[in-house]
A = this chain, B = another copy of it.
Amino acid sequence: MAKRKVTLEIASTRVTGAQVAREANVDPAIVSKILRDDPSLRVSRETRSRVMAVVERLGYRPNYAAQRLRSSRIGAVGLVIPDFRNPAFAEIVHGAEKASHEHRVSLFVSSAAASKSTIDLVIDLVASDRVDALLVAGGNTQETDRINEYLVERGVSFLFLNRQTSGTRRSLFLDDERAIGLAVQHLVSLGHRKIAAIGGLSSMETGRRRQRAFAQALQKADLQPRPDYVVEADYSLAGGQSAFAQIMELGDQPTALVVSEFVTGVGALGAARSAGVSVPRDMSMAVFNNLDMANFLTPTLTTVGLQLSAMGAEGLALLVDRPPDEEINATVSKPAELFVRESTAPPGGSPAIAAASLALQNGGSE
């Protein structure tokens, strides 16, 4: 070894590709290419294993920032949601995160509940180049339109989850129509004729979609949609609560309720109890999203299970696999399913049938 200036050896905690290359006696580029399975590279079996051994021994991992800086396409996907505390979105996040590991990208989840608007969230993530593609599962119609515009303009790949915008179509949908259909059909088959819906806000495209689907489902069953039987609620316990109160004020009250979001349903159920309305004797309730908790409420909730986790996972896969300019208009592959539990029964409440539906209690765990 040549003369070497003695410096204070800082315990350099960071292992670089250059270090690996030196120890393995190759060029840094080789290390990089081997680790990424670069098809343009031809190396001998022997060199490859020698490099891998050094990588292993030193615990080398490429520096994320450097990778990101150099090559514009490095796996990091953003997911924007309204709120972590809503269990439906927690499911979506979970599914997306799982898929992110399979696709070897990292997932950056941001929620709008923590003080920023959905739009600012998107701009922050994209403009600072923290992610190179985006799943958008939040925002009302106005916001999603603007987000769409912004992302198209910047040429960033994206996919809307159960949201539709007026511009480019890149969306993955849940089968809300089928879900509403299942719920209505179930209630009709129990003998209900006066069915009301608590749906999302009409400022949300999902809310409007579900409202339309509800009207269609009723018509299919030869029932007349009534505007006073459609109540808007935001996706929260309080939203469900006040929506239920609104229904209680109607002169001609429905005998059954379709609630198109889980926590809203729980809120409505709580409100029913406070109001002395017995579910299902006085009012049946079918609720969206078959979360595990549905089995633990009193009464247990009849649900239509939408595939939230699958939406997260499939959304991420589509986003990663499909070229950014391709139009995407897909529906989550697994269909919605009905899980009959105690909260639905024939109108007037026949105890016999109520008991029968109780037997179905464990009809799904998801």
Question: CB-defined interface of A88-122 with B at 8 Å, one 1/0 digit per residue?
Answer: 00110110011011000010111101111000000
- List of B residues within 8 angstroms of A31 by Cβ: none
With a 10 A CB-CB cut-off, give which of A66, A100, A114 has the most chain B CB atoms: A114
Contact A298 B296, CB 8 Å, known A114-B97, A130-B64: no
In whole angstroms, how far apart are the Cα atoms of A129 and B91 in the complex?
28
Q: Is A348 an interface residue (CB 8 A)?
A: no
Cβ contacts under 8 Å, A324 to chain B: none
Name the interface residues of A140-176: CB closer than 8 Å to any CB of B: 153-155
Question: Please, how many angstroms separate the alpha-carbon atoms of A106 and B126 in the complex?
Answer: 13
7 A-B pairs with the lowest CB-CB distances in the bound complex, closest first: A270-B296, A298-B298, A65-B68, A97-B114, A65-B69, A98-B114, A64-B128
User: A256-285 CB contact bits vs B (8 Å, 1 = yes)?
Assistant: 000000010011011001000000000000
A61 touches B127 (CB 8 A): yes
- The CA-CA distance from A84 to B98 in the complex, in Å, is 11
Interface residue? A350 (CB, 8 A): no
A246 at the interface (CB under 8 A from B): no
Instruction: Flag whether A363 is at the interface (Cβ < 8 A).
Output: no
The answer to whether A222 has its CB under 8 Å from any CB of chain B is no
Instruction: Report how many copies the assembly holds.
Output: 2
Taking CB atoms, residues of chain B closer than 8 Å to A335 are: none
Q: Tell me the minimal C-beta distance from A144 to chain B in angstroms.
A: 20
Let me know if A94 and B84 touch, CB within 8 A: yes
Question: Which A residues contact B (CB, under 8 angstroms)?
Answer: 11, 13-14, 59, 61-69, 83-85, 87, 90-91, 93-94, 97-98, 100-101, 106, 108-111, 113-116, 124, 127-130, 153-155, 237, 263, 266-267, 269-270, 273, 292-293, 295-298
Which residues of B sit under 8 angstroms from A266, Cβ to Cβ?
293, 296
List chain B residues, Cβ under 8 A from A11: 155
In angstroms, Cα B111 to Cα A108, docked, is 12
Separation of A62 and B127 alpha carbons in the complex (Å): 8
Q: How far is the CA of A263 from the CA of B291 in the complex (A)?
A: 13
Residues of B within 8 A of A13 (CB): 153-155
Instruction: Give the CA-CA distance A297 to B237 in the complex, in Å.
Output: 11
Cβ-neighbour of A101 out of B97, B101, B114 (below 8 A):
B114
In the complex, chain B residues whose CB is within 8 Å of the CB of A115: 98, 101
Q: With a CB–CB cut-off of 8 A, which chain B residues contact A128? A: 61-64
Complex contact B85–A94 (CB within 8 A): yes
A59 and B94 contact, Cβ closer than 8 Å, known pairs A101-B116, A237-B292, A297-B297: no
Measured CB to CB, the nearest residue on chain B to A113 is B94
Minimum C-beta distance from A169 to chain B (A): 21
Report how far A13 CA is from B128 CA in the complex, Å. Answer: 12
**Which residues from B are CB-within-8-Å of A297?**
270, 297-298
Q: A87-B87, A101-B114 are in contact. List 18 more A-B contacts (CB 8 A).
A: A61-B124, A64-B65, A65-B129, A84-B84, A84-B94, A84-B97, A85-B87, A85-B91, A94-B111, A94-B113, A94-B114, A101-B115, A106-B108, A237-B293, A263-B293, A266-B293, A266-B296, A269-B296
- Closest chain-B Cβ to A62's Cβ sits at a distance in Å of 7
Bound Cα distance from A4 to B128, whole angstroms: 30
Q: Which residues of B sit under 8 angstroms from A155, Cβ to Cβ? A: 11, 13
Q: Which residues of B contact A129 (CB under 8 A)?
A: 14, 63-65
**Given the complex, which residues of B lie within 8 Å of A100, measured CB to CB?**
114
Chain B nearest Cβ from A325, distance in angstroms: 14
Q: Is the CB of B85 within 8 A of A111?
A: no
Q: How many Å from the CB of A323 to the closest CB on chain B?
A: 17
